[in-house]
Amino acid sequence: MTVTVRFAPSPTGYIHIGNARTALFNWLFAEKHGGRFVQRFDDTDVARSKQEYVDGILADLEWLGIRPDRVEYQSRRFAAYDAAIEKLKAEGLLYPCYETPEELELRRKIRLSRRLPPVYGREALKLTDAEKKALEAEGRKPHWRFLLPNFAKSPFETERTEIHWDDVVRGRETVDLASLSDPVLVRADGTYLYTPTSVVDDIDMGITHVIRGDDHVTNTGVQIALFRALGSEPPAFGHHNLLTAASGEGLSKRSGALSIRGLREAGLEPMAVASLAVLIGTSESVSAMRSMEELAAHFDPAATSRSASKFDPDELKVLNRALLHEMEFGDVRERLAALGIESAKAEPFWLAVRGNLDIFADVARWWRIVQDGPADKSGLPADDLEFVRSAFGLLPPEPWDGSTFRSWTDRVKETTGRKGRPLFAPLRLALTGLSSGPELADLMPLMGREGILARRP
């Protein structure tokens, strides 16, 4: 059996960090088991699903390092759903109901007042053919409910019916089917709800592990019953905790909060985003993983907490910096070249500045400083002007290396009598225009004698 997982968003918005968590849990699970990853778009809601979001989600997954083995669209699979629905109807497992939402709400209240569980009482199952015809003659269209297997003899005498599964994240889980209403699978307008289409797809696509957010735990009880009603053994399930914004509010595709696209546009590294999306809310300590392989080695679905986890964008910045600070030149050579940074200086330049980057794009600013000097020379205090000018007069001849700065500033110290901050701060300001940054000893050989003299205030 080849492990086969799927990520099944509806393309009604761009995916956010919480969706990425689901996608990555699936991807890493497949990676660990030599499995396959199916990208499924739950796009049966044609009014809200958009091609723009399909493309956006695929691009976001690719950026994160997820390359689906197969892409499927529910909107192309109606024939399969129709066949399953007909089969259930023919077996009497799907029955027509005619209640309006108001009628259902009233009944729910009555049940609650009688201290009965507020589940659907299967009243529609008692309708005779003549009664159904009469309701249809009134213009009512039926919606269809799945008869849950939670009774022995009579559907009106339900019994505790436990459905169990060994959740790959949460461990042993139990849902009592007698505590649930028969779920509606087909709406009055003939459209299908997510439950049957998802189960039919999971069967047809050979899904072996359904890994998703823990908002689906109850659905899983129903879906397991539906797998069996359709003659299939259910797959394994895993439900991970959800991420919330720092305010504790849930993330939603529609609000665009913390979208992967937004994080990408903010210049963050995909492995910083992936590391946090996966490791937050687990017993693993959160740190930046350099590659998907490394992340897979730290990924243990069973180590995931049961409660929701707060996602803090500042933590993302910390991980991003940590990743950049350790990145080897070989890993960024092409990205630097794309910014026009490709001379023999590129490698020493990268090693000099990487420790000062918040996001990769910051290299462009440092490259400008190294090549052209500070954008603005006016920042040097008047009392330092003479000092800096005499220091520039003491620049040693080339060739320069990593020790040149030391020998230069030793001479400046002897000659001017300045030391410590009053010596170094004005030199840094004159060379870079900034009060902090990479080691000047590393920058100096990159700037060169001529380059530095051009910075003379």
- Min dist CB 265 to ligand GLU, Å, is 23
Q: How far apart are CA 88 and CA 72, in angstroms?
A: 24
Q: Which of 5, 9, 245, 271 binds ligand GLU (CB under 6 A)?
A: 9
- Draw the binding track, 191-230, toward ligand GLU (x: CB under 6 A; -: no contact): ---x---x-----------x-x---x--------------
In the list 4, 5, 10, 29, the residue contacting ligand GLU (rule: CB under 6 A) is 10
Q: Which residues contact 31 (CB under 8 A, 6 or more apart)?
A: 292, 293, 296
- Cα gap 146→88, rounded to integer Å: 8
Residues 105-134 that bind ligand GLU (CB under 6 A): none
Please, which residues bridge with residue 212 across strands? 239
Q: Which two tokens stand for residue 6?
A: 């799927």
- Taking the C-alpha atoms of residue 326 and residue 248, their distance in angstroms, rounded to an integer, is 33
**Which neighbouring-strand residues pair with 4?**
36
Collapse the DSSP code of 396 into the 3-class scheme (helix H, G, I; strand E, B; otherwise coil) and give the result: coil
Cβ-contact 222, 42 below 8 angstroms? no
To ligand GLU, the closest distance from the beta carbon of 246 in angstroms equals 23
Number of residues that bind ligand GLU (CB under 6 A): 9
17 near ligand GLU, judged by CB under 6 A: no
Nearer to ligand GLU, 206 or 393 (CB): 206
Measured from the CB atom, the residue of 198 and 356 that comes closer to ligand GLU is 198
Nearest to ligand GLU of 41, 95 (CB atom): 41
Looking at beta carbons only, is 15 or 276 nearer to ligand GLU? 15
Specify the residue, 158 or 198, whose C-beta has the smaller distance to ligand GLU. Answer: 198
Q: Torsion angle of alpha carbons 29, 30, 34, 38, nearest 10°?
A: 170
Q: Which phi and psi (to 5°) does residue 456 adopt?
A: -60, 125
User: What length does the chain have?
Assistant: 457
For residue 45, give the nearest of 204, 216, 252, 194 by alpha carbon. Answer: 194
Select from 31, 42, 182, 269 the one that contacts ligand GLU (CB under 6 A): 42
Site string for ligand GLU, 159-198 (x = CB under 6 A): -----------------------------------x---x
Q: In terms of DSSP H, where are the helices of 33-98?
A: 51-64, 78-90
Q: Is 8 in the site for ligand GLU (CB under 6 A)?
A: yes
Q: Which stretch, 7-15, 142-150, 346-354, 403-411, contacts ligand GLU (CB under 6 A)?
A: 7-15
Reduced DSSP (H G I as helix, E B as strand, rest coil) percent helix, strand, coil of the chain, to 5: 50, 15, 35
Stretch that binds ligand GLU, among 8-16, 78-86, 243-251, 345-353 (CB under 6 A): 8-16
| CB of residue 258 to ligand GLU, shortest distance in Å | 16
To ligand GLU, the closest distance from the beta carbon of 41 in angstroms equals 9
Instruction: Give CA–CA dist 64/215, Å, rounded.
Output: 24
Amino acid letter, residue 115: R
Nearest CB to ligand GLU, comparing residues 158 and 208:
208
Interhelix angle for 440-453 vs 363-372, to 10°? 40
Cβ-based nearer residue to ligand GLU, 8 or 429: 8
Which residues lie near ligand GLU (CB under 6 A)?
A: 8-10, 42, 194, 198, 210, 212, 216
